[in-house]
Structure 1
Amino acid sequence: MAMRIKTGDRVYVISGKDRGKEGKVLRRDVGKDLVVVENVNMVTKSVRPSQKNPQGGLVKQEAPLRACKVMLVCPACGKPTRVGRAFLDDGRKVRICKKCGEIVDKV
């Protein structure tokens, strides 16, 4: 099934330890059905000293989470919603909000 969330979308976490948080999608992995959301699912990683980080130590970073655990937040109505597909008159396929019917993609 196609992933209906794109990089840069605002999403709402619907399950897991971070339930109720919102954030922007930083990157996605379509093959594994994963998304990385800004300031959600933070983990502490131990890093070795390097030229980029000469001190080394502990670094907090976002870990991926399953795409089925997030819902798109509609830019028009501001609510978490399912995503539908529609065709415009010129033949382009766009994403629409199932709650208010507005187009989610920037046309």
Structure 2
Amino acid sequence: MKMQIQKGDNVKIISGKHKGEYGKVFSVIKNKHQVIIENINIKTKHIKPKQTEDRGHIKKIERPIHYSNVKLINKTR
């Protein structure tokens, strides 16, 4: 099945936790039929220090959303 959504397109979230929000597609994961949208579905990841002199930190990561949960608003091409 071919995905109509491409990188750079503007989309609207139509279902899930972020329903009704708009965003721009940051990347597309074709083999899993998922898209990553800028500043949507952000999760926190706690990073442990790798060595004794390093410090741990908290990183915010945008997680993918299945393409069936988004609606294409504007195509870039």
Is TM > 0.5 for Structure 1 vs Structure 2?
yes
> What corresponds to 1:19 in structure 2?
19
Contact 2:45–2:58 (CA under 8 A) maintained in structure 1: yes
Find the counterpart in structure 2 of residue 71 from structure 1: 71
- Contact kept, 8 Å, 2:9 with 2:76, in 1: the verdict is no
Runs of 4+ with >2 A deviation: none
Distance change in 2, residues 1:66/1:56 (3 Å) = same
Identical aligned residues as a percent = 38
Matched to 2:9, the amino acid is D
Q: Measure the CA separation in 2 of the matches of 1:65 and 1:105.
A: 20
Which structure would you say has the larger Rg? 1
Gaps of 5+ in 1: 75-103
Q: Which has the higher contact order (CA 8 A, sep 6+)?
A: 2
**Distance across 2 between alignment mates of 1:64 and 1:105:** 20
Is the partner of 2:19 in helix, strand or coil?
coil
Unaligned 5+ residue runs, structure 2? none
Higher helix share: 2
Q: Match of 2:14, as an amino acid?
A: I
Number of matched residues? 74
What do you get for the CA RMSD once the two structures are aligned?
A: 1.5
